[in-house]
Amino acid sequence: MKRIIISIFSLFFSLLTFAQPGSLDVSFGTGGIVTSTVVTGYNFGNAVAVQADGKIVVVGESGLPGAYNMSFARYNTDGSLDNTFGNAGVLSLSASVVSNYASGVVIQPDGKIVAAGRTFNGSSCDIAVVRINSDGSPDASFGTNGVLVLDLGASDVLEAVALQSDGKILVGGYNDASTDDFTLMRLNTNGTPDITFGTNGIVITQFGTYDSFIEGLAVQADGKIVAVGMAFDSNSHYKFAAARYNTDGTLDTSFGTAGTAIYSAGPGHDFALAACIQSDGKILFGGHTWVANTPVLKYDLAVIRVNADGTIDNTFGTAGVTTARIVDAENYATDMLLQPDGKVVLAGYSLENYSEANITLVRFNTDGSKDNTFGIAGAVTTDINAEEYAQGVALQSDGKIVLAGYTYGSSYSDMVVARYNGDVTGISEGSGLSFSLRPNPATDFVTIETSESARIEILDISGKSVFSSVAEGPMNIDVSGFSKGLYFVKVRSGNNSNVSKLIVE
């Protein structure tokens, strides 16, 4: 009977996978799309994260200009608002008496939600970090009733947040003391600045005498911290800018030039918005690059890959750079994710003739080429209303892609969440090494048989290795203790490798 049940499930699962990768998931919301109003006025979704139970959290700001509050919305796996959270699934939170904005979000292992952004007091901005419990109530163990507001003595803005494995919280942005500078801060789990990091918990990094801004953060497996954004160069062009820090906040001199690096994706302005770390230590920076001003303004989406030491990885794209053009005009990236199979998804929006913005997604293969199995020639465009903007992207455990942003209606704007089908079965990447994987889905054991002696590694959806061993022949692996969901099996022998997806149910 168990064999029959597994066979039926496998057949059902195989039917599901006929959905084109990159197509809207019609089981979510209405045709794959959900719009939400937190309060009357403008509602913006700026970042998204997926909880361990599959629920989706979106943060941003809502209200009227000059009186915004940080806003939160949580969705069930079918796209309906989660009535166990906040006020029927949404929450409006004030960190100060004027305006409040949330730019980044992470979910702690205990289910608490951390959002980072800024407050505006009418003349300057201050750092703002909030933590709420899983039901939407303020976490009284963090800051002052769940809220931390810090004035570093100038105008301070946070754009990114990340969690360390020890639970400490990293936030990054910029500080306008004299010039705008990379500003990185680490907080203890109770919201106090971690004085073992930098100077009283804060590190400020200058790129010469030029303005620079952190837009994205990523933490390596060894605990080192990668910050990415942009900096002006000597030609007054913005360029991708990155810095890597040791765990104590000092610059890691093994990266770039004394810990910092500037990269060019094109001949003009380049803007980096996100960073991802590959399992082999290579680093991806995602953003967009200027192409031309005439006959219309043109930007292309862009990804740069560098080696672990910060040097350009010439095996990726063209001299380390790959670009994509959705429309022959403006294409802007806002966020990026790295799939466990090494493919890269860049999210943003495209704009023609200074109007009619549409959500865009592009997926690249591990060599930087566009993935033609995704959408149309590697790209997806979603048109909801007159204007819609993607701001954040996240990956579910089943490989589906969740995107958050906002859409304008007849007067105000609403948060928007869209979910796209992924590709969760079959061989995804390979270079000459064959192996079999059965059963798939698996419940107790999975047997992997390779054509030669090889190292087998199993990674979860976040890219964390949960199993690694060398196989000389058929290998039986106990997966009964694995959490249910999607895993990736990597098999390597010499220069040959292959990757397959594994479902544990």
For residue 6, the model assigns a pLDDT of 36
**How many of the other CB atoms lie within 10 Å of CB of 36?**
21
| Gyration radius of the chain's alpha carbons | 22
The angle formed by the CA atoms of residues 23, 29 and 34, to the nearest 5 degrees, is: 95
What DSSP element (H or E) covers 2? helix 2-16
Type of residue numbered 99: S
Cβ within 8 Å of residue 19, ≥6 positions away: 25, 421
Domain residue spans of the chain: 428-504
The CATH number of the structural domain formed by 428-504 is 2.60.40.3080
**Distance separating alpha carbons of residues 372 and 3, to the nearest angstrom:** 36
Q: Mean pLDDT in each 10-residue stretch from start to end of the chain (505 residues)?
A: 37 48 94 96 97 96 94 97 98 89 96 96 89 97 95 88 97 82 96 96 90 95 97 88 98 98 95 96 98 93 98 98 96 96 96 84 97 95 91 95 92 95 55 73 86 84 80 86 84 77 84
Q: What is the pLDDT of residue 16?
A: 39
Give, as one character, the DSSP assignment of residue 433.
-
Beta 321-324 vs 485-493: how paired, if at all?
unpaired
At 486 the pLDDT is 81
Q: Across the chain, which distance is largest between two alpha carbons, in Å?
A: 72
pLDDT of residue 208: 83
3 state DSSP class of 443: coil
Q: In Å, what is the CA distance from 228 to each residue of 213, 261, 281?
A: 8, 10, 16
Q: In what order do the strands lie in the sheet with 496-504?
A: 427-430, 496-504, 485-493, 454-459, 465-471
Look up tokens 């009227």; give the residue.
64
The token pair at 486 is 């999607």
- What tokens does 107 get? 């979910």
Residue type, 204: I
Whether residue 26 contacts residue 79, with contact meaning beta carbons closer than 8 Å, is answered with no
> Which tokens in the block code for residue 339?
């799939």
For 368, how many CA atoms within 13 A lie in the half-sphere containing its CB? 21
Neighbour-count burial for 196-230, b at 16+ CB within 10 Å, e otherwise: ebbeebbbbbebeebbbbbbbbbbeeeebbbbbbb
What sign has the CA pseudo-torsion 61, 298, 210, 196? positive
Contact present, 305 and 343 (Cβ < 8 Å): no
